Amino acid sequence: MVFDWVLYFFVYNFVLDKQSDVYLKIVTLSPHIATLAVTFPITVLSGFLLQKYVTFSDSYLRGRVQLFRYFLVVIANLLINYIGLKILVDGLRVGELQVGGFNFYPTPSKMIITVFTVIFSYLMQKRFTFKSRLE
């Protein structure tokens, strides 16, 4: 979790240098969302390895099953992160409804959202991804 925060802070502040927007050929991303896209693969790989070999090492499931299930939980976490960042930093528009737009700074917003994703992720990883025979 701390690795994710530090990486997010470093990429946002020094790699992307808080640019106004990141222009790609297909889409334009706000800098906090582009930072999420850059840090996501790194934190997914490190998170899976730590959870498989340190936190939930007693799981009876095969590695590829764990990886697939882990990826499903990660996708849910990515959606939570995306929606949370949009609400806290930019605001999320759904039709006529405007949600959020609190203009919080991106790094503290990421930290707030992490509280929710850690709880969700731990419960899902323990009961779904890395099930043990004791459960």
Domain that holds residue 120: 2-129
Query: Would you say residue 28 lies in a domain?
Result: yes
From first to last of its 135 residues, the chain has per-residue pLDDT tens of 888 889 989 998 888 887 778 788 888 888 888 888 899 899 989 999 999 999 888 888 898 999 999 999 999 998 998 899 888 988 888 788 888 878 888 889 988 998 999 999 999 999 999 988 765
Angle between helix axes 63-85 and 106-124 (nearest 10 degrees) is: 150
Query: Would you say residue 134 lies in a domain?
Result: no
Domains held by the chain: number: 1
Query: Would you say residue 112 lies in a domain?
Result: yes
pTM of the model: 0.74
Tokens of 112: 């707030």
Tokens of 24: 């790609």
Q: What are phi and psi of 95, to 5 degrees?
A: 65, -120
Cα 15 from chain centroid?
18
Tokens of 83: 């929606």
Query: Would you say residue 78 lies in a domain?
Result: yes
Say what the pLDDT of residue 129 is: 92
